[in-house]
Amino acid sequence: MSESTVKLGLVGCGRIAQVAHLPALEKADGVELVVVCDPSEDVARAVAGRHGIGSYVTESAAVFENGQVEAVLIAAPDRFHSTLAEAALRAGKHVLVEKPLASGAAEAARLVGLQAETGLTVQVGSMKRHDPGLSFARDFIVSGRLGQVRSFAAWYRIGSIRPGVEVTLFPRLFADERVRGVEAGFKADRPRYLLATHGAHVFDTLRFLLGEVHTVTAIHREFGRDQAWSVLVTLKSGAVGTIGIGVDVPGDGAEGIEVFGSEGQLRVDTHFPFFRRASDVHAYSARVGAFTVPVFDDTNAYERQIEAFARAVRGEGPADPTAADGLEAVRLIEAVAASSASGETVTL
């Protein structure tokens, strides 16, 4: 490890850490994991042993007080994100925090202010910005090859076969059954939990590709465990579009967006993230009169995310997405929830 390697502490050794972040950290350039933390000593010990980490602790304060640690990756449950991120910043640590940034916009805004006050790096774990297919799509739009964006349709569906796919792809997970029971209680409010955890991705991707949202008008329906949202969106650019979110639909899942402009069209199909595949992109430009279908090699968005964070800590690039981006995603989650509850259009 060189002197430029960022020394990292991991706070939260649950499911997302074990299946996504830890495998990425084993391969990522520019970062070294020096300590892991989980409230369950059994889980912390097991994870440290599997990944050859020399130190594990059960209190997040021990990570924040560790003089060797320069930055922290917060992969604890959603409701702890803002509290842990604030504690890390006040301890002088750079922060990569899983999405959503906070449980509410007021909490997220405080983190934006604290980041500005400390000057430390804060990056939100919306790793799809580091999917090279989505990056290509954004460049295609920003470059003007699509022309003026006029309309779009985005979709995000979790299918009923997902648990079986996860069993196939995931390693054996270390878990504390007592903790798992507590977390199940917090996830029992399915509309609130699912809109936050999945909406955070959808809304950040929308802003990443197309810019700021002006209004949302949302409808939510609940069919037992199945949840569905349909959202009519207007952008500040004047474009109009729709977002559909469905959870536990029969069969396969899907995620993507189609965008239509004055000089072309664009379709992005994003794969289940643990396939480690870049999004498939079909981009048509009337100027050329042909479709472009790019092919990528380096496609692990989680690995690319942590490498981008390490560069940002060293001042070699921007945090992406920023705390301010995380705030806007939380505002959109709240706006869709408010609109679906009231039946009214919400202006951001």
Q: Do 170 and 254 belong to one domain?
A: yes
Global confidence as pTM:
0.95
- φ and ψ at residue 200, rounded to 5 degrees: -55, -40
Instruction: Name the domain count of the chain.
Output: 2
- The pLDDT of residue 227 is 94
What does R_g of the chain's alpha carbons equal in angstroms? Answer: 20
- Is 172 inside a domain boundary? yes
Q: Do 169 and 92 belong to one domain?
A: no
Q: Do 144 and 292 belong to one domain?
A: yes
Sort residue 168 into left (φ over 0), alpha (ψ -120 to 50) or beta: alpha
Q: Do 146 and 258 belong to one domain?
A: yes
- Is 174 inside a domain boundary? yes
- Is 1 inside a domain boundary? no
- φ and ψ at residue 112, rounded to 5 degrees: -60, -45
- The pLDDT of residue 163 is 92
- The pLDDT of residue 1 is 55
- Is 228 inside a domain boundary? yes
- The pLDDT of residue 208 is 98
Q: Do 166 and 179 belong to one domain?
A: yes
- The pLDDT of residue 229 is 98
- Residues of the chain whose pLDDT is less than 50? none
- φ and ψ at residue 52, rounded to 5 degrees: 65, 35
> What would the DSSP string read from start to end of 7-43?
EEEEE--SHHIIIIIHHHHHH-TTEEEEEEE-SSHHH
Q: Do 205 and 106 belong to one domain?
A: no
Q: What does the pLDDT look like over 78-125, one tens digit per residue? A: 999 999 999 999 999 999 999 999 999 999 999 999 999 999 999 999
Q: Do 211 and 66 belong to one domain?
A: no
Give the structural domain span for 25.
6-128+305-321
